């Protein structure tokens, strides 16, 4: 009887050896065939589980077979080694532990998805997972859930960072300047401040600062621009050591802004004023008209300054800055000036002449539209103030420079009707060398002659 048991043992070893050889030969094929060999190994595993004594002997004897098969399988392809070793290891593991048929079925089911990739590593990892205990599967599921927790934690962290950024934007404030230091800077003369700024490398004068104030309403941004343009190191100068620092530049901008007539921060209000006064109608009250003239004069002066500083020569380009067209406003201003200036001083007429021609010379489109009218308006004002020589000279100039003369002759003659009727008729009569009944103002010239 003992001799029989030995023969059975030898037969089982030979069978396991043959099965491992088959597995080794099949390892060179695609991974789909590996799953078939795994199925063939299952009966051998069931036979070994029937007896505990056989389990121990088969486990010991199968192990050498693994090594020999590994050496043989190394010859065809190096990639197949992990698959063969893993398959043999899996056949050995069930021999040491009681494993039901259902988990074995899960082995073959999970090996199949590995056919998509020829590499052996994915097969090895999928073969290990089914052989694990229930506790291992719980760990695996926990491991799967862990990235989600990390992702949510990362999202939460991102939300916190975003919230911090949002709060920093909301709570961001302008740099606080030392009050005592600012008062000290303000106590200095402007020229002294300019010299201290030059000592830091900022070579600018009053006009340079005033010009920049027309470009931007944000003084902090202007200060940064100046320091960047002149490459001034903010840490190179200290108030305690040098008596000045880069905060001086902002103080200079503030002081210049208080003294200039116009700056970028005024553009919005200027636009509102232009729009409000463009629709003014002349009243019977001379005082009201005079006050309105002063207001409109100041508004047009600011418009002129903007155009000059910004080198603007078309009224349409001013719209980009003050958000309104100035054409109607300037026309209203000229009408009002013509109405009120006969009651003003003679010098006021001269002042208005210089001013209105500065405006029209700056804005080319308005000069083309109202240049001739402005000359005749001023000529009338001179004549009404008794300066007939200057008034006549202006009219004679306009007559020489224009082809259509009926309107010009009518205005020239009409201004003298209440001053010198004979001269008015003489001017009207001289018009007929150029004007006949085809012209619009011919009837009006006849009316002057008939007075």
Summarize pLDDT for 167-224 with one digit per residue, the tens.
Answer: 444 444 455 557 888 899 999 999 999 999 999 999 999 999 999 999 999 999 999 9
Determine the structural domain holding residue 97 and report its residue range.
Answer: 2-131
At which of 131, 164, 191 does a domain end? 131
Domains identified in the chain, total number: 3
pLDDT greater than 60 at residue 356:
yes
**Residues 254 and 272 reside in one and the same domain:** no
225: Cα within 13 Å, side-chain hemisphere: 14
Q: Where are the alpha helices (DSSP H) in 80-133?
A: 81-96, 101-111, 121-131
Does the residue 51 lie in any domain? yes
40 and 81 part of one domain: yes
User: Do residues 251 and 127 both lie within one domain?
Assistant: no
Task: Kindly state whether residue 316 falls inside one of the protein's structural domains.
Answer: yes
Q: Report if residue 442 sits inside a domain.
A: no
Residue 294 — pLDDT band, cuts 50, 70, 90?
very high
In a domain, 152, yes or no: no
pLDDT at residue number 228: 94
User: Are residues 247 and 292 both part of a single domain?
Assistant: no
Residues 398-439: pLDDT tens digits? 999 998 899 999 999 999 999 999 999 999 999 999 999 999
On whether both 286 and 379 belong to a single domain, the answer is yes
Residue 184 lies in a domain: yes
Residue 415 DSSP SS3: coil
pTM listed for this prediction:
0.58
Band (pLDDT 50/70/90 cuts) for residue 301 is very high
Segment 312-326, tens digit of pLDDT:
999 999 999 999 999
Residue 114: which pLDDT band, with cuts at 50, 70 and 90?
very low
The whole-angstrom separation of Cα 26 and Cα 23 is 5
Note the pLDDT tens digit of each residue in 60-84. Answer: 443 334 433 333 333 434 333 433 3
Domain limit, last residue, from 207, 234, 260: 260
In this prediction, residue 177 carries a pLDDT of: 55
The answer to whether residues 271 and 398 belong to one domain is: yes
Q: Are residues 235 and 277 in the same domain?
A: no
Residue 418 belongs to a domain:
no
In a domain, 440, yes or no: no
Q: Are residues 96 and 115 in the same domain?
A: yes
Same domain, 90 and 184: no
The pLDDT-based confidence of 234 (bands split at 50, 70, 90) is confident
Query: Is-contact 342 379, C-beta < 8 A?
Result: no
DSSP-derived 3-state class of residue 260: coil
Residues 278 and 247 in one domain: no
- Please give the full DSSP string across 123-170, using - where no structure is assigned: HHHHHHHHHS-HHHHHHHHHHHHHHHHHHHHHHHHHHHHHHHHHHHHH
Domain end position, chosen among 194, 225, 260:
260
Would residue 448 count as lying in a domain? Answer: no
Same domain, 272 and 370: yes
334: enclosing H helix or E strand: helix 327-340
132 pLDDT more than 70:
no
């Amino acid at each position: 009887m003992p001799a029989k048991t030995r023969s059975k043992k030898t037969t089982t070893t030979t069978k396991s050896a043959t099965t491992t050889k088959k597995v080794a030969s099949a390892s060179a094929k695609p991974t789909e065939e590996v799953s078939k060999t795994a199925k063939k190994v299952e009966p051998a595993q069931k036979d070994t589980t029937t007896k505990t004594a056989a389990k121990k002997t088969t486990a010991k004897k199968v192990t050498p077979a693994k090594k020999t098969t590994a050496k043989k399988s190394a010859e065809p392809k190096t990639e197949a080694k992990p698959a063969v070793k893993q398959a043999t290891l899996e056949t050995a593991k069930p021999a040491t532990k009681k494993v039901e048929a259902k988990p074995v079925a899960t082995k073959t089911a999970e090996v199949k998805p590995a056919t998509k990739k020829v590499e052996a590593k994915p097969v090895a990892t999928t073969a290990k997972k089914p052989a694990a205990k229930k506790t291992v599967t719980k760990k695996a599921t926990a491991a799967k859930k862990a990235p989600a927790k990390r992702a949510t934690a990362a999202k939460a962290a991102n939300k916190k960072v975003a919230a911090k950024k949002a709060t920093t934007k909301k709570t961001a404030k302008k740099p606080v300047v030392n009050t005592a230091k600012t008062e000290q800077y303000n106590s200095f003369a402007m020229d002294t401040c300019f010299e201290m700024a030059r000592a830091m490398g900022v070579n600018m004068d009053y006009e340079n600062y005033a010009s920049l104030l027309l470009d931007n309403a944000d003084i902090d941004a202007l200060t940064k621009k100046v320091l960047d343009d002149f490459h001034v190191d903010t840490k190179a100068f200290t108030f305690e050591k040098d008596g000045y620092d880069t905060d001086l530049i902002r103080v200079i901008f503030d002081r210049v802004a208080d003294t200039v007539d116009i700056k970028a921060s005024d553009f919005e209000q200027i636009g509102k004023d232009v729009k409000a006064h463009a629709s003014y109608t002349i009243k019977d009250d001379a005082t009201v008209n005079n006050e309105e003239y002063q207001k409109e004069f100041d508004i047009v002066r600011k418009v002129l300054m903007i155009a000059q500083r910004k080198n603007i020569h078309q009224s349409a380009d001013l719209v980009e800055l003050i958000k309104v067209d100035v054409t109607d406003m300037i026309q209203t201003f000229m009408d009002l000036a013509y109405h009120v200036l006969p009651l003003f001083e003679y010098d006021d007429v001269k002042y208005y002449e210089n001013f209105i021609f500065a405006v029209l010379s700056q804005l080319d489109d308005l000069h083309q539209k109202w240049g001739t009218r402005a000359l005749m308006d001023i000529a009338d004002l001179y004549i009404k103030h008794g300066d007939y020589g200057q008034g006549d000279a202006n009219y004679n100039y306009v007559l020489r420079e224009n082809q259509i003369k009926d309107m010009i002759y009518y205005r020239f003659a009409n201004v003298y009707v209440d001053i010198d009727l004979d001269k008015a008729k003489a001017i009207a009569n001289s018009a007929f060398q150029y004007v006949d009944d085809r012209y619009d103002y011919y009837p009006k010239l006849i009316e002057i002659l008939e007075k």
